[in-house]
Amino acid sequence: MNKSKHKAGMPALKTGNKKYRLLSRIPGIRALLEKSPVEDIGNHELLYGTALLHNPYLNKGIAFTEDERQFFGLKGLLPPAVLTLEQQVVRLIENVRAQSSDINRYITMMSLYDRNITMFFRALIDYIEELMPIVYTPTVGKACQMYGQIYQRPRGIFISENDRGNIAEILRNWPYRDLSIIVVTDGERILGLGDLGANGMGIPVGKLALYTACAGIEPTSGLAVTLDVGTENRALLNDSLYIGVRQGRLKGKPYDDLVEEFITAVKEVFPCTLIQFEDFAVNNAIRFLKEYRKRVLMFNDDIQGTAAVALAGLFSAMRITGGELKNQRLLFLGAGEAGTGIADLVVYAMANEGLAPEEGRKRCWFVDSRGLVIKSRGDLAEHKRPYAHDHTDIHNLLDAVKRLSPTVLIGVSGQAGAFTRDVIKAMSEINDKPVIFALSNPTSKAECTAEEAYKWSDYKAVFASGSPFGPVEGIGRTFVPGQGNNVYIFPGVGLGAIISKARHVTDEMFLAAAKTLAGQVSDEDLSIGRLYPSLKRVRDVSVAIAESVAEVAYEGGLAQAERPDDLIGFIRSRMYDPVYRSYIEAI
């Protein structure tokens, strides 16, 4: 077998085999090969016969034409019928719908990802409203809880304390060099489900699927990483099928040193790659954002993405209530990274409207597990202190609503049912159109349902949620609640940062993203109570957000790429579109 050294990201191509030589000329396949560091990629068997069917990036399944089957040694390996991609997707959707549960639908979709990536993304894009809750929230939460039981094929990279000193080498094991985005978690705060350890890998895998479906990031351009630093979840540690390190969580300096080595290794191996932090515990998430945001291209989706999607919802809500953001009084249930992240961006936006930051902070109040966050409390974490005001102690949410008279109530607590009938009625007595956001997910953790918010407010509520809820009938009309899902924000922000080759991701970019998202909401959307555009338009929304984020980078001197004359056209030209290429015609 002919082998030669792999250099500068280019594979050693074997030119002695005609079929390989022709196949390597096909647009898309050549690009895929050139991303791979496999030394002997020239072995034609990797791209011929059953090996071609087993390559999820190249496999078309029963859609291979008669000529392709003859040329690539597939005759007899497939049923005689030749179906189109569209027909394959229809069959897939029928199979997904026939499953007995959402977790089985998730398994069906992820199994398809392992076989045929083009079909997977064609289906996800075309049926985004139906499949996104399966591929990501809320079903991904259940998938993470069961990750050991449903694990099938490896995805992404796992890094543990035992890998200290070798993280850069481990990253080089990834078979694709041309990365645009890394999504990393340590699994300590998975959605509202808590510490799931290595099982948290389902989150970055799901996020990357949405990057491709919603913003057109090439599937080979994303990498999911789990920093497996142990878990405090005793049920997992005692589970014989648990896939992670069986130890308590790494803490203190050893933990920080592992994260530092990971960041340094990414800069060395993938120097231009955006890093997205996901589902770290609140203190670590805030610390790492502060530590790394000026050193590398990174952001934290739980803090900044959640903040931007919530702010966009508030901008939309103001179009219904007729108010101005700078005049609102916000009450948050939950004072973790999501809540204070929203407040920070809201204050930034209020300052953009002319309100001094210290005045903006005075308009944001928090209730945590111990009651109202006030200055006299001596146990406050650093991230809560800017929002600790002078006030007498209040021990529960209902009293806080009655005494503070908020115009906006935002739930980021993970406490199911915390927005009770009495709380929502109190908000409705204070406001003609109370703004109520129940943003915790998955659905089982929502502070209230859409139906509860509408009915208990006599259908006056301006409502949004973190998890999907169906339409609600009432007072002779249909209300369609908007889902404040980060999928409206992070794919476009990431795409804009990648297109412009931004040095950093800034608060100004997230404010621009929030304004752009709100601008995508039509009067028709608002007329049915929806504060966000239809998910069917999410790719167009991502393009608009990418443009606004890239413009911030260009105008602020943060871009390392030249601005193209037609920025929108350039962005669209770079987006992955899942279609089958004719291998024979390409030759």
Catalytic residues: 136, 207
Buried b (16+ CB within 10 A) or exposed e, 503-540: bbbbbbbbbbbbbbbbbbbeeebbeebbbbbbbebbbe
Which two three-digit tokens encode residue 283?
């203190």
Determine phi and psi for 438, rounding to 5 degrees: -105, 90
Q: Kindly state the DSSP code that residue 431 receives in the 8-state scheme.
A: -
Q: CA-based Rg of the chain, rounded to a whole angstrom?
A: 25
Cα separation values, 491 from 73, 348, 518, Å: 39, 22, 16
CB 88 within 8 A of CB 119: yes
| Buried residues in 336-363 as b, exposed as e (16+ CB within 10 A) | bbbbbbbbbbbbbbbbeeebeeeebbeb
Distance CA 396, CA 387 (A): 17
Rounded CA gap, 80 and 64, in Å?
10
DSSP 211-255: HHHHH---GGGEEEEEEE-----HHHHT-TT--S--SPPP-HHHH
**Cβ-Cβ contacts under 8 Å for 275 (sequence gap 6 or more):** 181, 182, 184, 263, 266, 292, 296, 297, 298
Distance between CA atoms of residues 555 and 93, nearest Å? 44
Report how far apart, in Å, the C-alpha atoms of 564 and of each of 494, 499, 501, 559, 561 are: 18, 10, 13, 12, 9
